[in-house]
């Protein structure tokens, strides 16, 4: 059995490491901020400590076998419950919270590492996670901007001439069209075009003009 000083050290260190990652999420005003990450990391550390040392008396009994990894596995799978609550489907093609959900999953693993006494692994993972979340974001955005696709979806009424609207949309960037679809719905026609290597900001005024067309019911585009 480990001493209470070691237990206290592990719990405090787990809270601090979780707080470091949570601080970056707090900076962006996410609901899962510093305190949430600290609690997840603390809870994971406590769970593995209890799993490893909390049943020492039971192990003295005959025919009793303990597998601490079972509880650790439950922590990793159970954290998915919190992650699912963080992810938000705001609108088609736009999802928020995946990075924060993956951060909570990583924090839980860090807590398990601290609770197991793997201090170097836990601290190293915290530093790497902080670098990924904070420092690499500008590089990711710059790289993704070159290959990002933009969806334009236009709904028009069933009495209109759809080809007139299609021509207007295609004129926005004929060479940059990745995919095109044209479907009939109960309320009218749905036109969807994915543009690649396309600056949506430059054509936003043209899209707003299309939206004001009498035959157009709605216009949606990813920014």
How many domains is the chain partitioned into structurally? 2
Per the CB < 8 A criterion, the answer to whether 104 and 86 are in contact is yes
Predicted model pTM: 0.59
**Do 139 and 33 reside in the same domain of the chain?**
yes
Report the range of poorest mean pLDDT among 13-22, 121-130, 168-177. Answer: 168-177
**Do 153 and 139 reside in the same domain of the chain?**
no
**Do 137 and 56 reside in the same domain of the chain?**
yes
**Do 154 and 71 reside in the same domain of the chain?**
no
Per the CB < 8 A criterion, the answer to whether 160 and 189 are in contact is yes
**Do 32 and 139 reside in the same domain of the chain?**
yes
Pick from 20-29, 89-98, 206-215 the range whose average pLDDT is largest: 206-215
Query: Hey, how many other C-beta atoms are within 10 angstroms of the C-beta on 102?
Result: 16
Torsion of CA 184, 186, 188, 189, to 10 degrees: -20
CATH of the domain at 176: 3.30.70.260
Per the CB < 8 A criterion, the answer to whether 41 and 114 are in contact is yes
**Do 58 and 26 reside in the same domain of the chain?**
yes
**Do 110 and 171 reside in the same domain of the chain?**
no
Residues 6+ apart with CB under 8 A from 64: 58
Q: Among the three residues 125, 143, 161, which one is the final residue of a domain in this structure?
A: 143
**Do 180 and 212 reside in the same domain of the chain?**
yes
**Do 78 and 167 reside in the same domain of the chain?**
no
Q: Among the three residues 143, 167, 185, which one is the final residue of a domain in this structure?
A: 143
| 91-110 residue pLDDT tens | 555 566 777 788 888 888 89
Q: Among the three residues 86, 117, 143, which one is the final residue of a domain in this structure?
A: 143
User: pLDDT tier at 132 (50, 70, 90 boundaries)?
Assistant: confident
| 164-202 residue pLDDT tens | 888 887 777 666 777 888 888 777 888 888 777 666 677
- The CA distance from 133 to 12, in Å, is 23
Residue numbers of the domain that contains 31: 4-143
- The CA distance from 30 to 8, in Å, is 29
Give me the DSSP letters along 62-120.
TT----THHHHHHHHHHHHHHHHHH-EEEETTEEE-HHHHHHHHHHHHHHHHHHTT-HH
**Do 98 and 157 reside in the same domain of the chain?**
no
**Do 61 and 98 reside in the same domain of the chain?**
yes
- Nearest of 115, 93, 90, 152 to residue 13 by alpha carbon: 115
């Amino acid at each position: 059995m480990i001493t209470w000083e070691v237990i206290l050290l592990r719990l405090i260190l787990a809270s601090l490491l979780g707080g470091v990652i949570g601080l970056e999420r707090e900076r962006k005003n996410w609901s899962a901020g510093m305190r949430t990450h600290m609690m997840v990391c603390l809870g994971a550390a406590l769970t593995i400590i209890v799993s490893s040392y909390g049943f020492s008396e039971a192990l003295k009994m005959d025919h009793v076998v303990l597998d601490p990894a079972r509880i650790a596995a439950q922590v990793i799978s159970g954290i998915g419950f919190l992650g699912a609550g963080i992810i938000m489907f705001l609108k088609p093609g736009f999802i928020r919270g995946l990075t924060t959900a993956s951060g909570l999953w990583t924090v839980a693993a860090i807590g398990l590492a601290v609770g197991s006494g793997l201090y170097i692994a836990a601290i190293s993972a915290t530093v790497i996670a902080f670098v990924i979340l904070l420092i690499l974001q500008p590089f990711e955005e710059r790289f993704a901007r070159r290959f990002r696709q933009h969806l334009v979806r236009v709904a028009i009424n069933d009495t209109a001439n759809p080809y007139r609207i299609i021509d207007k949309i295609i004129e926005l960037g004929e060479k940059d069209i990745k995919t095109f679809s044209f479907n009939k719905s109960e309320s009218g026609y749905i036109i969807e075009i994915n543009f690649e290597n396309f600056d949506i900001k430059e054509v936003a005024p043209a899209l707003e003009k299309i939206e004001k067309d009498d035959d157009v019911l709605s216009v949606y585009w990813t920014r």
